Amino acid sequence: MVVRPAVFIDRDGTLTEEVGYVNHPRRLRLLPRSAEAIRRLNAAGIAAVVATNQAGLARGYFSEEVMHAVNDELVCQLKAGGAHIDGLYVCTHHPTAGDPPYRADCDCRKPRPGLLTRAARELGLDLAASTTIGDKASDLDAGRAAGTRGVLVLTGYGLGEWEYRRPSFRVPPDHVAEDLLAAVDWILRQRAAA
């Protein structure tokens, strides 16, 4: 298997609007420049992998069926924008909410790196050459634990995280970007310069 670099992308607040629990496909809205961002990764031959915590399952807010419908909608909206993702990895767990198997002290709920390491194994990704993009410190912590760089976007929770919670960041982001497209452009510029 050819090993290639990836960009791991958080879903809610990074790729799509942060609207709270997405318990219906109609609540899912791509952020304005997301399809363009994924298109640029596709063109550059960089794997675009979505990694998302969906504790709403453990909390009983929606079923796995609904979650799949929402993720299908995501793939659909991206496709309409000429973009495709190479993988979509979901943590369906919560350490204290709900019942097993959803109530679990898993290794994949971000800030833990399990979604990323699993994707790397299954898709043949070079973690050291990869970047994680998210709107929360926990996204970047997961990325860091997996050995990737981290970019914080200011969409979703990002602006609040950066303005008010910066002192609590365990490791500062490698870069802070206005949105996903700006984050991807930074990654592409870094590669061009290397």
Q: What is the DSSP string of the chain?
A: ---B-EEEE-TBTTTB---SS--SGGG--B-TTHHHHHHHHHHHT-EEEEEEE-TTTTTTSS-HHHHHHHHHHHHHHHHHTT---SEEEEE--BSSSS-TTTB---S-STTS-HHHHHHHHHHTB-GGG-EEEESSHHHHHHHHHHT-EEEEESTTTHHHHHHHSGGG-SS--SEEESSHHHHHHHHHHHHHH-
Pick what 135 binds: Mg ion, Zn ion, none; C-beta below 5 to 8 Å, kind-dependent: Mg ion
| Contacts of 102 by beta carbon, 8 Å cutoff, 6+ apart | 57, 58, 92, 93, 94
Pick what 106 binds: Mg ion, Zn ion, none; C-beta below 5 to 8 Å, kind-dependent: Zn ion
Strand partners, 89: 51
Segment contacting Mg ion by CB under 5 A, of 10-18, 96-104, 142-150, 161-169: 10-18
Segment contacting Mg ion by CB under 5 A, of 6-14, 55-63, 120-128, 168-176: 6-14
- Asked if 141 touches Mg ion (CB under 5 A), the answer is no
Whole-number minimum distance, CB 108 to Zn ion, in Å?
3
Whole-number minimum distance, CB 68 to Zn ion, in Å?
16
- Binding mask 117-136 toward Mg ion (x if CB under 5 A, else -) reads ------------------x-
Which residue lies nearer to Zn ion by CB, 35 or 91? 91
Pick what 93 binds: Zn ion, Mg ion, none; C-beta below 5 to 8 Å, kind-dependent: Zn ion
- Asked if 179 touches Mg ion (CB under 5 A), the answer is no
Q: Give me the residues that bind Zn ion (CB under 5 A), please.
A: 91, 93, 106, 108-109
10 is catalytic: yes
Whole-number minimum distance, CB 110 to Zn ion, in Å?
9
Which residues are identified as catalytic?
Answer: 10, 12
